[in-house]
Structure 1
Amino acid sequence: MYLEHVNLVVADIDAMLHFYRAVFPHWRIRDEGHGSWYGKPRKWLHFGDDYHYLALSDHGEGENRDLAGHSVGFAHFAYVTNNLDAVIARLQDAGYAIAKPGAEDPYRKNIYFVDPAGFEVEFVEYLSDLPAERNLNLEKARKEVL
């Protein structure tokens, strides 16, 4: 089993495509159309590859949740990459700033960006093939040693 897609309701699909095309230059618009959602017209599209995609709908209203707050809602989602530096460079070249740095860790590198709809996206590069190292909680391990 694997996650096939995430459905994001946004206000501006073109802005989202600009961001995610920088992240995934090999992805394409798989399908798109128009319809309505509970009486409100919307445009929708699926942006991805043959196995994974983002479903985007443009009928969003208002602001996304405050990422620094404690509201119930979507916190972030993450993508694994083989080359974190290349993802960072593509996003920065497209005009996006790093939202927050990742943790210092010998087995992985990570970074956070916020997309145009206000969703926080983490990008992770693993530096180990061993699941025990990749999934190690360093803070917890340090406390257990002490």
Structure 2
Amino acid sequence: MIRLEHINIVIADIPTSLKFYKAAFPEWKVRDSGQSEWFGVTRNWCHFGDDTSYLTFNDDADSAPRDHHGHQAGISHLGFESSDIEALQVRLAEAGFKPHSFGNDNPYRHNVYYYDPDGIEVEFVQYFSDDISKRNSTV
């Protein structure tokens, strides 16, 4: 078995990023935080998640994020499944975040896309079927 345990992200400011991710994941918490050095640069870090999965934030970003309309190598977006995408959108709106786009109409899923405070694209999807072929359909 293999499962994703964590994603390590370099950002500009941990409190600003936490505002977005706390709204998206209200059941998650700051698991730990501290300071370290990465190739001669001191940075703060934070593990935000639950007991089994988390995001690591490191506040030493020194460049703009990947251009989402370009073709640079790197991660295009992070994708998370939600059991209630409408409630998620309300929480993010209340925290001051608006989606930048929505997925194609599909009877088996709804997708919504946001840019987090550091310009990282985050997709949230809610499925309306347990049938994998329907979830993956391009209807």
Question: Shift of the alpha carbon at 1:72?
Answer: 1.5
Query: What is residue 16 of structure 2 aligned with on the other side?
Result: 15
Match of 1:114 in 2: 115
Query: Percent identity at matched positions?
Result: 43
One-letter code of the match for 2:30?
I
8 Å contact kept, 2:106–2:138: no
Greater radius of gyration (CA): 1
What TM-score, normalized to structure 2?
0.96
Distance 2:122 2:77 in 1: 6
Consecutive unaligned residues of structure 1, counting only runs of 5 or more, are: 139-146
- Which sits farther off after the overlay, 121-130 or 63-72? 63-72
State the shift of 1:137 in Å. Answer: 2.7
Runs of 4+ aligned structure 1 residues displaced above 3 Å come to none
Output one character per residue of 1:16-49: Cα deviation in whole Å (capped at 9) or x when no partner.
1000000011111101111100000000010000
1:64 is the counterpart of 2:70: no
TM-superposed CA distance for 1:56, in Å, is 0.4
Relative to its length, the structure with more helix (as a share) is 1
Q: CA deviation at 1:114?
A: 0.4
The reply to whether residue 83 of structure 1 matches residue 84 of structure 2 is yes
- Kept in 1, the 8 Å contact 2:103–2:112? The answer is yes
TM-score, scaled relative to structure 1: 0.92
Count of residues in Structure 1 that have an aligned counterpart in Structure 2: 138
CA RMSD of the aligned region, Å?
A: 0.8
